Amino acid sequence: MKQTLQVLTVLLLCFHLVHAQETTISGTVYSLEDEESLPGVSVTVKGTTIGVTTNIDGQYSIDVPSDANVLVFTFVGMVKEEVRIGNRSTIDVYLSPNIEQLSEVVITGYGGQTSRKELTGASVRVDSKEITQRQVPRLDQALQGAVSGVSVTTNSGSPGGSSNIRIRGISTSGDNNPLIIVDGVIYDQAGLNALNPNDIESVNIMKDATAGIYGVRAANGVIIIETKKGKKNSKPQFRFDGYYGIQETSNQLDLLNASQYAILVNEAHLAGGRPLPFPNTQLGEGTDWQNEVFQQAPIQNYNFGMSGGSDKTTYDIGGSYFGQEGIVGGPKANFDRYNARINFTTELAPKLTFTNVMLFTHERTRTLPENGIGSVLYNTINAYPTEPLRQDDGRFSFLERVQDIINPLAQMENTFNQSIVNKITGKQELAYQINDHLKASGRIGYNYSMVDFDQFSPLAWFGPGKAPNTALNENLDPVQIAIGDPDEGGVLIDRGASVFESRTTFLDYVLEGFLNYDRTFNDVHNFSATFGVSFNEVTSRSLSGTAFNIPNNSIDLANVGANQAPGGFLNNVGGFRGIQRLYSQFLRAEYDYNKKYLFSSVIRRDGSTRFGPNNRFGYFGSGSAAWVISEESFFNSSVFDFVKLSASFGVVGNDRIGDFAWRGLLNGVGNYVFDGVIQQGVAIGRASNPDLRWETTQHTNLGVDFTMFSKIDASVNYFIKDTRDLLFVPDVSALLGSFGAGGFPPFVNAGTVRNQGLEVDLNFNLIERRDAGLSINYNFTYLRNEVLSGPDGFDFIPGSPFGVGGEIATRFQVGFPIGYFFGFETDGIFQNQAEIDNNPVTQPGARPGDLRFVDQSGDGRIDFGGDSDRTMIGSPIPDFIMGMNVNANYKGFDFSANIFASIGNDIVRNYERQQPFANRLEYRFDRWIGPNTSNEHPRETVGSTRNTVFSDYFVEDGSFVRLRNIQVGYTFPNRTTQYLGISNLRVYASSINLLTITGYKGFDPDIGGGGGPLSQGIDFGFYPQPRTFMGGLSLNF
C-alpha cells in the first residue's frame, strides 16, 4: 500500500514536470441553486485573454500558463466567481444566481415586463425569498420595511387581523388602499388573508404614474402579485415547508397594583370632597388582569407543493394549512386557513398557450371585541386590581365600582362568533403568438366568495348596570319585552339568547383581451406596445337574520332555526344587493434606443358605474423616460458600473366610493313608533350629485439608479403626489336636511392633498461566494403630508373622538397633515394658588396641581368652550420610516434579520377610562401631590377638572425600532440527505418581534388606523402583535 502511494506520487511529479510550461485544467460548472450543470459559462484566465466556454454538459477544459493564479467564471445572471488555481488540475465551480441584478424582471401589467435596468418608472419587486423568509401569516406583514415608499401599519395583532398598506402616503380622507392584482385577478385588502405567502413568486409594486395602465383605480398604487409557476423540462419536484411556534404578548403595560391603586383612589376622593373608599390601603399586589388575559398561543403552518414541466406544459400545485390562536382569548380569537392551488400552463396547439390558475381557500376566523371602548384589552387595562378575578361563588367578578368596565374574562367567555369564508379564485387565459412580434391574449379572472358569519349572544350578566348585560339579573332570567299595550291585548314576552347569522356572497369577474407587440428595428430601435380592453363587474348579495330565545342558552343550539321566540316577535331579517361595473380600454407604447434612451407612455379610458352620468368616463395617462448614462461611450468610471436617470409624470384616478353614491336614493331611515310598534318610513339617504367624479392623483417622479463596485445597488427617488378633486363628504349646511338616520350629505369633489418625499433603497452585496454570502438591504422613506385645499366654506372634517363624550381629537384640515391631533398645549402644572393668581392667562376652574394650558389665541383666557386655544399637538404620520434586512450564510448556515423603524409619529393614549375607580398606569403614581412634586402629571381628583380635556398630555411619541424577524437556519449537506432521497433539507429557528425599542407606554407602537385615515394613531388598547418563537423545516425531494 505504502509503495503504491510512493509510485503515484512520483508519477504525479513527473506529470507535473512534463507539463511545466502549460497546464490543462478541467472541470464542470454548476448552478448553485439547482445543482444543474451550466452550459455556456465563460472561463478565462485572469489578466489574460485566454478563455473558453463550457459545453452542453457544463464541462470545460482550459490550457493555462504556469504563472496563472486565478480562473474567472462569468455567466449572465450569475455572480462572477474567481477561483485560485493552486496546484489543482480539476476545478469544479458552483455559480450562485445574482439576486439583486439589474436584469431582475419587473412586471408592468397586461403581459408587460421589463428589467430594473430598463425601467422608466418607480416600480419595485419583492422576491419570494424575501417574503417566505419572514414567516408571516399575511403578505402585507412581509412588506413592512421591505422596500421604500411602502408603509405597512397594523390594524390589529389578532389572528387574521389586517394591515394598512400605504404607497407613498395617505392621499385622501377616503379609501387609501392600493389596487391588488393576483395573477390578473383583483383582490381587496381583506382578501389577502386567502393567500399563503409561500405560494408567492413575486410582488411588484407600482408607485408612480406608470401605474396608470390601471387607470381609475391606480391612484393609491398597484401591487401585482404572481404566484409560483412550474418550469419547462424539469423533473417533478416536491417541497414541504412547515413551522410551529409559540406566541406571547410582546409587551405588558405597567399598571398600578392594589395598594398603589387604593392610595390614588383615596387621594382622588379626598380632593373631590367625597368619603374615602379604602380605609386600608395595604392591599398588596391584587389582581393582575393582564396576566389573566394574556396567554401563550400556538401558530403553525404546513405547506406542500409540487412543480415541474414537460416541453409543452408546466405546473405548480400545492396545498397548505395555517393556524393561529390569539394571545388574547386563545381559540376565541383564532384564524385558520386551508388552501389548495393549481397553476397549470400548456401549449394547446402550436403558438397557443393556455394558462389556468385556480385557488380554493377556506378561512375560519373568530374575533373578540377589540380596538375600542369596551374591547377586551380596554377592559383589561381599566379593571381595578382590588377586585378578585372571581367571586366566592366561582363566578367572574362584577367590577361594580366602574359601570362601564366589565370583567374581561367574563367578556371572553360570553363571546361567540365565527366567520367562515369559502373562496374560489381563478383565471383562464389563452395567448396566441400570431407572429414573431405580435401576441394576442384573452382571459377571464374571477373571485367567488361566500362569507358565513354567525354570532351567538347568550343571556349574560356582567354585573349590575353593565351595558352589555343581556339578562335581567345574575340568575340569567330573560328581560321581558312588551309587544303592544299590555292593557289592550298586547303581550309581554321573554327576550332570551339570540343568534345572528348572515351569508354574503360576492362574485366579481374581469374579462380582458389585449395585444402585445414587440419588435426591434435595425438592432437598436426597440419598440413594444400593448393595447387592450377590460370589463369588470362586481356583484354582491347578502341575507341575514337574527333570532331570539335559543333554547338552553346554549351555543350548541345556536342557529336561527332553533329559536323559540313567541310568534316570531323580535326576530328580524335583512339583506342587500350590490352591483358595480367598470369598462376600460388601454394602450401602452414603449420605445428605446439601444437600451440607452428609454421612453414609455400609457393611456387608459375608464367608465365606471360609481360616477354620475355627467362624468362617467375618464382618461388617465402618463409618460416616463430614462437615460442609461453608463451606456454612453463617454462614460468611463471605475466606480460606477451602471447609472440611470429616470423621470415620470402622469395622472391616475381613485374610484373608491360606494356604489351609486352619486344618486339620491330613498335608503335613509325614518322610523317612528305608532301603537307601540316600530313603523318603517322612507327618507332620502345620501343626497345626489350627478356631477360626481373620481379623485385624480398627479404623480411626478425623479429617480436615479446606480451600481458601484459591482457590490452596491442604489435607487433614489424623489416624488410629488398631488391628489385633487378629493371625494369628499363635506360638512354641508343643516339646511339641506341630510342629517337624519341613514342620511348623508352628497359626495363632492373638492380639495387637494400633497404627499412629497424621498425614497432610498440601498443594496450591499458584500460577500458573494459559494460557501459564504453577506448582503444588506437598507431602505429609507421620508414623507411629508399636507392638506392643501378644501371645498368652499370648509373648516375641517372632524375625525376620531378622544375619551368618552364626543371630544374630537383628529382633523382633516387645510395646512395640516391628514388626521393630525387637535387639542390644548400644556405648559407644566400649577404648583400653587399664587401661580394661578399671577398667571396673566385666566384658566377657568384651575386649581393647584392642574395642567396649565397655553393661551394660543393670546386673549388672556383659556377658552374651553371654543377652538381658539386648541392647536396642532401631534401627527400620526411618521417623518420617516426605515427598513434594514440582513442576509448572511456560511457553509450550511444561514442567518437573516429584518429591522423596521418608524420615526416621528405620535400616538394618542386613549385607553384610559377617566373614571374615579378605573385602574391607572404606573406613571400616574408620579402625580402632583403638593408644590413642586411634579410638573408633568396633574393631581388626582374625582371633582370637576379640566385635566382630562384632550391635550398634549395624552399624546406620546410613537417612534419605534423593531426587530421584526430574526432567523437562523442550517441546510444539511447534499451528500448526507441524498440517501434519503431528499435533495435539500433545511431546518431553522426564528423569532418574530423579538425586540422593540420605543418610549411609547401602550401595548404596541405599530398601530394603524382601522377606522380610516382620521383615526390613525388613536390607541384604544390596541391588540399587540405577538412575539413568536418558532422552529421549522423545509425539504425538497
Partner 1 sequence: MKNILITFILSVFLLGISSCDSILDVDPLFTEDAESFFNTPEDYERALIASYDLLQTSYLTSWIGEMASDNAIAGGESVNDTRGLHDIADMNHGGVNDELQLIMRYNYTGIARCNFLFEARGQLENLPNEDRIYAEASFLRAYFYFELVRYFGDMPLIIDRRIGIDEATQIDRAPASEVYAQIERDLLNAVEHLEWTNPTVGRVTKGPALALLGKVYLFQEKFTQAAEVLDRVINEGPYSLLQFETSEEYTAMFTVNQEGNSESVFEIQYTGVQGGSFDCFVCLQGNISPGFNGIRNFVGPIYAPGFSYNLPTENLYNSFDPNDLRRDGAVLNIDAFIAAQPDPSAISFSVGGGGHTGFYNNKYIQRQNELGLPDQRLTSPVNYRVIRLPDVYLMAAEAHNRGGGNDGLAQQYLNNVRERVGLPTVNATGTSLTEAIWQERRWELAGEGLRFWDLVRTGQAAANIEGFQVGKHELFPIPQVEIDLAGGNWQQNPNY
Q: Residue 663, interface with partner 1 (CB under 8 A)?
A: yes
Q: Residue 888, interface with partner 1 (CB under 8 A)?
A: no
Q: How far apart are CA 46 and CA 406, in angstroms?
A: 77
Q: How far apart are CA 571 and CA 562, in angstroms?
A: 12
- Interacting span for partner 1 (CB under 8 A) from 153-161, 175-183, 337-345, 687-695: 687-695
Q: Residue 864, interface with partner 1 (CB under 8 A)?
A: yes
Q: Residue 567, interface with partner 1 (CB under 8 A)?
A: no
Closer residue to partner 1 in complex, CB, 123/470: 470
For 880, other C-beta atoms within 10 Å of its C-beta total: 18
Q: How far apart are CA 191 and CA 139, in angstroms?
A: 11
Cβ atoms of 725 and 750 within 8 Å: the answer is yes
Cβ atoms of 584 and 605 within 8 Å: the answer is yes
CB burial readout 715-741, b (16+ within 10 A) else e: bbbbbebbbbbbbbbbebeeeeebeee
User: Within 288-347, which residues bind partner 1 (CB under 8 A)?
Assistant: none
Instruction: List the one residue from 11, 669, 929, 980 that touches partner 1 (CB under 8 A).
Output: 669
User: Which amino acid appears at position 900 of this protein?
Assistant: F
Shortest CB 739 distance to partner 1, Å: 4
Shortest CB 268 distance to partner 1, Å: 10
Q: How far apart are CA 277 and CA 263, in angstroms?
A: 10
Shortest CB 1027 distance to partner 1, Å: 34
User: Which amino acid appears at position 256 of this protein?
Assistant: L
Q: Residue 911, interface with partner 1 (CB under 8 A)?
A: no
Shortest CB 480 distance to partner 1, Å: 9
Q: Residue 134, interface with partner 1 (CB under 8 A)?
A: no
Closer residue to partner 1 in complex, CB, 617/709: 617
Shortest CB 58 distance to partner 1, Å: 39
Could you tell me which of 444, 585, 592 has the C-alpha nearest to residue 518?
592
Phi, psi of 553 (to 5 degrees): 55, 35
Closer residue to partner 1 in complex, CB, 482/766: 482
User: Within 796-835, which residues bind partner 1 (CB under 8 A)?
Assistant: 803-807
Closer residue to partner 1 in complex, CB, 337/495: 495
Cβ atoms of 4 and 48 within 8 Å: the answer is no
- Interacting span for partner 1 (CB under 8 A) from 83-91, 204-212, 292-300, 663-671: 663-671
Q: Residue 1011, interface with partner 1 (CB under 8 A)?
A: no
Closer residue to partner 1 in complex, CB, 236/575: 575
Q: Residue 518, interface with partner 1 (CB under 8 A)?
A: no
Q: Residue 264, interface with partner 1 (CB under 8 A)?
A: no
Measured at the alpha carbon of residue 155, what is the angle toward residues 149 and 157, in degrees to the nearest 5?
Answer: 115
Q: Residue 52, interface with partner 1 (CB under 8 A)?
A: no
Q: Residue 272, interface with partner 1 (CB under 8 A)?
A: yes
Could you tell me which of 169, 378, 136, 382 has the C-alpha nearest to residue 1016?
169
Q: Residue 668, interface with partner 1 (CB under 8 A)?
A: yes
Shortest CB 793 distance to partner 1, Å: 5
Could you tell me which of 296, 286, 301 has the C-alpha nearest to residue 244?
301
DSSP 8-state secondary structure symbol assigned to residue 572: E
Shortest CB 681 distance to partner 1, Å: 3
Instruction: List the one residue from 101, 428, 609, 871 that touches partner 1 (CB under 8 A).
Output: 609
Query: In terms of DSSP bridges, do strands 22-31 and 93-95 run parallel, antiparallel, or are they unpaired?
Result: parallel
Q: Residue 736, interface with partner 1 (CB under 8 A)?
A: yes
Instruction: List the one residue from 795, 922, 926, 936 that touches partner 1 (CB under 8 A).
Output: 795
Closer residue to partner 1 in complex, CB, 471/963: 471
Q: Residue 416, interface with partner 1 (CB under 8 A)?
A: no
Shortest CB 311 distance to partner 1, Å: 21
Q: Residue 607, interface with partner 1 (CB under 8 A)?
A: yes
Q: Residue 672, interface with partner 1 (CB under 8 A)?
A: yes
Residue recorded with cell 363571546? 415
Burial bucket for residue 863 (CB in 10 Å: 0-12, 13-18, 19+)? middle
User: Within 914-943, which residues bind partner 1 (CB under 8 A)?
Assistant: 914-917, 942-943
Shortest CB 47 distance to partner 1, Å: 55
Q: How far apart are CA 438 and CA 55, in angstroms?
A: 34
Which strand (E) or helix (H) includes residue 245? strand 234-249
Shortest CB 771 distance to partner 1, Å: 52
User: Within 244-263, which residues bind partner 1 (CB under 8 A)?
Assistant: none
Instruction: List the one residue from 739, 890, 893, 923 that touches partner 1 (CB under 8 A).
Output: 739
Q: How far apart are CA 843 and CA 820, in angstroms?
A: 25
- Pattern 446-465, partner 1, x by CB under 8 A: ------------------xx
Q: Residue 348, interface with partner 1 (CB under 8 A)?
A: no
Q: Residue 483, interface with partner 1 (CB under 8 A)?
A: yes
Number of residues that bind partner 1 (CB under 8 A): 114
Shortest CB 660 distance to partner 1, Å: 5
Indicate the SS3 state at residue 603: strand
Indicate the SS3 state at residue 233: coil
Closer residue to partner 1 in complex, CB, 726/1035: 726
Order of strands across the sheet that contains 797-798: 797-798, 810-812, 820-824, 870-874
Could you tell me which of 213, 202, 116, 210 has the C-alpha nearest to residue 719?
210
User: Which amino acid appears at position 423 of this protein?
Assistant: K
Instruction: List the one residue from 743, 757, 817, 1032 that touches partner 1 (CB under 8 A).
Output: 743
Closer residue to partner 1 in complex, CB, 391/403: 403
Q: Residue 233, interface with partner 1 (CB under 8 A)?
A: no
Q: Residue 910, interface with partner 1 (CB under 8 A)?
A: no
Residue 685 to residues 416, 614, 682, 692: CA-CA distances in angstroms? 33, 21, 9, 16
Shortest CB 619 distance to partner 1, Å: 14
Q: How far apart are CA 224 and CA 202, in angstroms?
A: 8
Closer residue to partner 1 in complex, CB, 284/806: 806
Shortest CB 464 distance to partner 1, Å: 5
User: Within 392-411, which residues bind partner 1 (CB under 8 A)?
Assistant: 400-403
Shortest CB 569 distance to partner 1, Å: 8
Shortest CB 844 distance to partner 1, Å: 8
Quick one: residue 964, left, alpha or beta (phi over 0 = left, psi -120 to 50 = alpha)?
alpha
Q: How far apart are CA 420 and CA 352, in angstroms?
A: 39
DSSP 507-569: EEEEEEEEEEEEEEETTTEEEEEEEEEEEEEEEEEEEEEEEE--GGG-GGG-SGGG---GGGT
Residue 91 to residues 51, 60, 167, 444, 827: CA-CA distances in angstroms? 15, 10, 49, 52, 74
Instruction: List the one residue from 74, 585, 832, 934 that touches partner 1 (CB under 8 A).
Output: 585
- Interacting span for partner 1 (CB under 8 A) from 11-19, 476-484, 765-773, 826-834: 476-484
Q: Residue 671, interface with partner 1 (CB under 8 A)?
A: yes
Q: Residue 866, interface with partner 1 (CB under 8 A)?
A: yes
At 542, list the grid cell.
347578502
Indicate the SS3 state at residue 396: strand
Shortest CB 863 distance to partner 1, Å: 8
Q: Residue 734, interface with partner 1 (CB under 8 A)?
A: yes
Shortest CB 686 distance to partner 1, Å: 10
Shortest CB 733 distance to partner 1, Å: 4
